[in-house]
A and B are shown apart, each in its own frame.
Chain A
Amino acid sequence: MGDLLDRRLLFVTGKGGVGKTTISAGLAMLAAARGKRTLVCEVDAKGDLASSFEAPPTRFDESQVAPNLWAMSMDSEASLRQYLSLQLRLPRAAGIGLVARMFDFVASAAPGVREIVTVGKLCWEVRERHYDLVVVDAVASGHIVGQLAAPQAINSLVQVGLVRQQTGWMLDILSDPARTGALIVSTPEEMPVTETIELVGRLRSETTVDLAGVVVNRVLPELFGTREEQAFEALSGGEATAFLSRAMGGDAVPLLDAARLMVRTRRSRAEHLERLRDALGGPAGAVVPLLYVPYLFLRSHGMRSTRQVAAALAAELES
């Protein structure tokens, strides 16, 4: 599992809201702390990444947010503009704005055009060795396959032209498990688990990108072992609860109820976790690494939560 951070390009994906941005930020923070020059890129720019570092809004041009750590947000139009000015040596100014807008328009119909520009920029950063690691806070499960399969899609649609020539080296990078991997974030709930299992299948059958692992985020703590569980049952109701209430000068029932709520919720989620493990287990050798990140009971989201996620990931990578 230690090799995760030795890759060059990691796409972090998963269902909406499961914690892609949080995990990307934590992972990038961990890599940076271990001395890797790291770039983290928010593809679906909503500004959540910047808030993970308590930094000003990210832009297409990267900015440093911590030692060894830079952040940017993807902008397919800006990316295309950069690409055109590099490839065609066109001046950045005249005409390129309209060109890029029209491309964006064409891209709404032609599969792969917008994606190739996004993936292209990320691969380019890897190829040029600007960074040791590029962590991509990628699009959600519904769109990631289209993005990662863009080079093949373009290959089959476009016969000639610069874009076609570009797909070769991108595929080299994307298909190399030593350099590139996808990390799926899930939570132990029905829909995220179902989507994760489906996505694992699609990544394998429709893209050439290696599945580096699955992060199970927001795992609730296990309150009690078997013996504690028995003591807890004995404490609930009757004389024991009355004793507790008296000793504390107030009703103890809500405290017991809250524990029961946690135990029950965790238990109902365990079933989904089980399903995930079963689906990922597969034949020996094909086992996908699972990393667990606990639910963080914090008041707000920022540097502190990012550090805690980094620490949790570090512990998982060691084991």
Chain B
Amino acid sequence: MTATVADGRALEALVASREILVVCGPGGVGKTSVAASIAAMAACHEGGRVLVLTVDPARRLAQALGLASASGRAQRVPPEAFAEAGAAPHGELWAEMLDTKQSWDRLVRRHAPDPHTARRILDNPLYQNISGRFVQSHDYIAVERLHELHSEGNYDLIVVDTPPTRNAVDFLLAPQRMAEFFSSRLLRLLTVPYRSRFVDVAAKPFYYVADRVLGSQFLEDIAEFFILFQTLSDGFVARAREVERLLSDRRTSFLVVSTLETVPVREAEAFMAMLPAKRLQLGGVVLNKVLPSYLMQPHLGERAERLCDEAAVLAARMCADGGPMADHDPVIVERVLAELGANFNNIAVVARREAGQRTELARHAAIMASVPELDDDVHDLAGVLRLGRHVWSGGAQ
């Protein structure tokens, strides 16, 4: 299995040669934890100013990174915190938590033709809804903010944690979708001033039906909002293109995190398959919460079977006078031995499935680390560093 694991230093090399590392992957696999870990390790070993731009961290982890109050601004993780966790970084670790609503508001203010229009958009009830969930707004905002941070040039390395989207691919498509949205025919149809709408033959059935179904007042409200929103169009489209360029820049690399469970692996594969067409660079894969490799040793399955079959005989021998379990009840010992065998076979089923999934993933990219499930959640700097050591060393077991 080690054949698919890249040189333990591959991640180090990647981190040292990039300015942006985008940590992607399916929901709940450990993106936020791994992103924080890589940033912390980079600050420790590579030095310089390292920022982790994180989205939705678990509350305790946010506190640990000094992000208790989401200000939408970067905070430095104090050196004392590192000292407490037994580390002495020669670089600086900064952390920022994405504030979607605030970033949207900023974007509207920047691209609106005048403050009055900006105000009207921000006050529109439909905008509240839009800034919450419209066209993968979370994803778009994350890349948008990344662009802003990168062009300010304050950091040597920015590690980006990506939002828990329904599908990892959404993140990549966000800028393009944003641009498409503003240039779509549907938007144009909808924002044709109300009276001249009937000029457009294609749109006629829509207005007929829409009036009956939703009522014309609601439709006018929507149209008015879109008309306002369209004033942002040029700025948005240009910006979305720039953001897209930054993602495909040579200084940017994508790192995919996944567990070896079926659903995440399928999603991770779909994600990686998309990268080349978008000219995005896949740095590698970090496997998280994997089962230890000893489970795959040859002949263990047979040994487990034997233990199940011969539990009674073995227990009797072990519990006999002079045996190593002489003072134990043979019935109990038999049960334990049988359970040992059965349990091993159960876990081995999962381990074999994982090994198969790993091979699949390795076809797409180098596996840079395999991290075991740690005994504790990653909720403080010590935890981040513990995870980091596994990630950094490739997770040698």
Contacts and interface: CB of A to CB of B under 8 A. Distances in A.
A158 interface: yes
A282 B352 CA distance: 42
A235 B325 contact: yes
Main secondary structure of the interface of B (DSSP, over half): helix
A101 interface: yes
A25 interface: no
A15 interface: yes
Contacts of B264: 17
B13 interface: no
Contact of A111 (B129, B214, B294, B304): B129
Given A255-B304, A259-B339, A44 B166 contact: yes
Interface string B121-134: 00000100110011
A161 B329 contact: no
B339 A224 contact: yes
B69 interface: no
Contacts of A231: 325, 328-329, 332-333, 336
Interface in B214-267: 214-215, 217-218, 222, 225-226, 261-264
Contacts of A190: 58, 377
A87 B377 CA distance: 53
Interface in A241-280: 242-244, 247-250, 252, 254-259, 261-262, 264-265, 268
Contacts of B210: 99, 102-103, 106
Q: How large is the interface on B (under 10, 10 to 19, 20 to 34, 35 or more residues)?
A: 35 or more
Contact of A232 (B214, B294, B336, B352): B336
A102 B294 contact: no
A240 interface: yes
Contacts of B294: 254, 257
B357 to A, nearest CB: 12
Given A243-B323, A254-B295, A248 B307 contact: yes
Contact of B27 (A16, A96, A256): A16
Contact of A240 (B225, B324, B329, B353): B324
Given A160-B215, A191-B58, A254-B300, A105 B27 contact: no
A266 to B, nearest CB: 11
A163 B202 contact: no
Q: How large is the interface on A (under 10, 10 to 19, 20 to 34, 35 or more residues)?
A: 35 or more
Contact of A99 (B209, B304, B332, B333): B209
B183 interface: no
A223 B213 contact: no
A168 to B, nearest CB: 15
Contacts, number: 192
A140 B28 CA distance: 13
Contacts of A84: 209, 213
Most buried by B among A228, A231, A238: A231
Nearest to B314: A247
B88 interface: no
A264 B323 CA distance: 28
Contact of B215 (A106, A164, A194, A234): A164
A239 B212 CA distance: 83
Interface in B320-376: 323-325, 328-329, 332-333, 335-337, 339-341, 343-350, 352-353, 373, 375-376
Given A102-B206, A231-B325, A240-B324, A161 B303 contact: no
Interface stretch (B47-55, B103-111, B186-194): B186-194
Contacts of A158: 214-215, 218
Contact of A258 (B130, B323, B347, B352): B347
A17 B27 contact: yes
Contacts of A161: 211-215, 218
The 6 closest A-B pairs by CB, nearest first: A161-B215, A95-B205, A297-B346, A160-B215, A240-B324, A239-B324
21 contacts: A15-B27, A17-B28, A99-B205, A159-B217, A160-B217, A161-B214, A162-B214, A190-B58, A191-B58, A230-B328, A231-B333, A240-B325, A250-B299, A254-B295, A255-B344, A257-B294, A258-B340, A258-B347, A259-B344, A297-B347, A297-B350
